[in-house]
Amino acid sequence: MELRLAGVTDSRVLNALEAVPREVFVSDPFLEHAYDNRALPIECGQTISQPLVVGLMTQYLELGTRDKVMEVGTGSGYQAAVLSRVARRVYTVERHEPLLRQAEERFKRLGLTNMVTRHGDGMKGWPEQAPFTRILVTAAARQIPESLSDQLDDGGVMVLPVGDEDRQWVMRVRRQGHRLNTERLMAVRFVPLLGGLPPEHPAG
């Protein structure tokens, strides 16, 4: 009800949020706050977004049951799990291998079978599986990455935070042929989107 009052009105998104147990994705020290509407820290200096932001960003994607979604930044896996309840298939990329392996275990525990994971540089997306009808980025880019928008199908939608440490906005990008139409939707605060892989986990 709190999320509905705050603007998450898509019944499929609300059902997905209700179906995914957030406590599965929260680190042990923060379990008592699993259902607080706030972001929480996870390993590798990352965060799990507050349920309201997850709900709104999922809603902004305008997902259908046939959509093929790429998520950049698996993190805890919570956002991907919500997406999997609404979309046909979710391809999720994470640069921190320990986070990805934890997320994979959670997906398996919850019986989520329409999920494909990859350890890699999220800034590069997943060219081998492109194009995607929907793309969701869960870290803030300085500007809309061409490497990701190029993987968006004609008529597709990408939702991502854009900005610096001081000011970020969730943007919705629609591809129409060679044109990208953008909308600014809400102010947020995300960890930065970084290229490459952490030095302790070289590509392999």
- Which run of H or of E encompasses 32? none
Band of pLDDT at residue 18, cut at 50, 70 and 90: very high
Residues 6+ away with beta carbon under 8 Å from 160: 72, 135, 136, 137, 140, 141, 144, 148, 170, 171, 173
Look at residues 125, 106, 140 and name the one whose alpha carbon lies nearest to residue 22: 106
Prior bond of 192 cis (ω within 30°): no
How large is the average pLDDT for residues 84-103? Answer: 97
How large is the average pLDDT for residues 170-176? Answer: 97
The pLDDT tens digits for 45-67 are: 899 999 999 999 999 999 999 99
How large is the average pLDDT for residues 113-137? Answer: 97
Residue 86 has a pLDDT of: 97
% of the chain with per-residue pLDDT over 70:
98
Residue 179 has a pLDDT of: 96
Whether the pTM exceeds 0.85: the reply is yes
Residue 120 has a pLDDT of: 96
Residue 166 has a pLDDT of: 86
% of the chain with per-residue pLDDT over 90:
88
Residue 88 has a pLDDT of: 97
Residue 204 has a pLDDT of: 39
Q: Is the pLDDT of residue 203 over 50?
A: no
The separation between the first and the last C-alpha atoms of the chain, rounded to the nearest angstrom, is 45
> Can 49 be counted among the known catalytic residues?
yes
Domains of the chain: 2-188 (3.40.50.150)
Residue 5 has a pLDDT of: 86
Catalytic residue (one of 49, 76, 84, 149): 49
